[in-house]
Each structure stands twice: as C-alpha cells, then as structure tokens.
Amino acid sequence: MPEPLQKRIQYFHDEVILEGYLSRQAFATQRSPGIIIAHEWMGIEPHIIEYADALALRGYTAFVVDLYGKSNVPENYEEAKTLSDELRNNRHLLRERMLAGLDVLRQQDNVDASRIAAIGFSLGGCAVMELGRTGENIKGLVSFYGDVGSPHKENAKLIKGKVLVLHGGSDPYVNMEHVTDFNDEMKSGNIACEIVIYSQALHGFSNPKESKSANAGSSFDEHVHCMAWERMLLFLEEVFS
C-alpha cells in the first residue's frame, strides 16, 4: 500500500500562527471521512504523527490540530503545564483552537465534510469533548485518558455524535470520580456514550515516551494501547456507517 500523503499546514486563530499535520491516503478516488486529532500536553509529538498516518492508511484523512501555536513548543513538563493550563482554564480559547483546526480539515478537497470524527489524548481528550460541546456536527468523539469533564456541563446536550472514552482505571491524574461525573453529564444530556476502563492502566498508556520509572502516575502500556486502538477503529466504522 502506498505511503500516505503528508504535509504541514499553517493556519491562523486570531493573530496566532498555528501549524498542524495532515495525512491522507494517496491516490484516493472518492471523498473520505475526516479525523481531527488533538495532541497531548507536550504538543505534536512523533507518536501523534504516527497515529495520524495509521488512520490515513485506513482510508481516513487525519489532521492533527495545533493547540498552542507554531512558536509555542514545550521543551519540558513545566512549559507544557503552563501552556496546557492556559487552555484548561479558558475553555472558550480551547474550543476556538479546535474549531480553527476543524475548518482546515473541512476545507480539504478530498474530505467528506459531513463525516467528521475527533480523537484526542490527555489534554487532547479534553479538547475533543469541548469541540463536541460547541454543537458542531461531529459524528464521533474519542478520548484516550483525557480529562473529559467540563465547567460547562449544561453544554452536554449540544453534543451531536456518539462518545467513546478509553480510560485507565489506575490513572491518578484523571481518577474514576472524574469519569463517573462525566458519565452523569452524558446521561443528563441524553448522549450515547461508551466508557471503557482498563483497570490496571495508568495515564498515558498510548504514549510510548511515558515511562513509569520517570513518572509514577503515567506509563505506556502497549497491550492496553492496542486494545484501545482497536476499539476506536470499530467505533469509527460504527459512526461512519
């Protein structure tokens, strides 16, 4: 199978220059569903690019949004915390950054703009759910170990698509109380939501850079990642069928 077509795309939110990553199937003969991918707190890392390419090889057009800005690339956890906290504390800004990326994806001439889904990891999981709460026509929303709650729970009813949450049952950063609260939010909005708990998994189970020896609360788990990724692929088939 040919390698996917890949390119960096610069775009704007207000006066901030953003740079996302687009990956699509080569020699496509018809419009494809589009997938927005939202990165973790360290920005657009290699594993996020890899996941976009993997989706492109399955026939999707994947666009990794830039939540921070081209000039804001964190070099350590402290810088990442500063940048991510700004977005977590300003959900309007977070939504606007996601909407800017969504516009880029919809403008691609090979994308079926009526069939869009969004997936996110950690901070990106939070971002994806906030995108859903804007009321945009997103067929499916997927969070990998994201802080999926919101200070704007009343917006849950605006979510138009189905929701899939893939979460570590031993995650100390986004614990089960947060997940239970989110489940209640989805119930109140009458949203079709599936929550899958991997009981022994920590935060960051899909991030190969995460090492339990370096961070006791976060660790890559290849087995859990593979299970979660397969569930996501089935979910995408479901929402686009």
- Rounded to whole angstroms, the Cα distance separating 96 from 101 reads 9
Residues constituting the chain: 241
Condensed to tens digits (0 to 9), the pLDDT of residues 44-98 reads 999 999 999 999 999 999 999 999 999 999 999 999 999 999 999 999 999 999 9
Look at residue 170 and give its three-state secondary structure: coil
Note the Cα 89 to chain centre separation in Å: 18
Roughly what angle, to the nearest 10 degrees, separates helices 123-132 and 77-88? 20
pLDDT at 112 over 90: yes
**pTM (predicted TM-score):** 0.96
User: Residue 109: what pLDDT?
Assistant: 93
Q: Domains of the chain: which residue ranges?
A: 5-240
| Closest CA relative to residue 97, chosen from 70, 131, 126 | 131
Statement: 5-240 belongs to CATH 3.30.930.10: no
pLDDT of residue 214: 60
> Per-residue confidence at 29, pLDDT binned at 50, 70, 90?
confident
User: pLDDT at position 212, please?
Assistant: 62
* Alpha-carbon distances of 55 from 48, 143, 216, 233, rounded to whole Å: 11, 16, 30, 9
Please report, to the nearest 10 degrees, the dihedral formed by the alpha carbons of residues 22, 24, 27, 32 taken in order: -120
Residue 53 is inside which H or E element, if any?
helix 46-57
Rounded to whole angstroms, how far apart are CA atoms 223 and 54?
17
Instruction: Tell me the pLDDT tens digit for each residue of 150-184.
Output: 999 999 999 999 999 999 999 999 999 999 999 99
For 192-232, what is each residue's pLDDT tens digit? Answer: 999 999 999 999 999 999 876 566 799 999 999 999 999 99
Number of H helices, E strands in the chain: 6, 8
Q: What is the pLDDT of residue 155?
A: 93
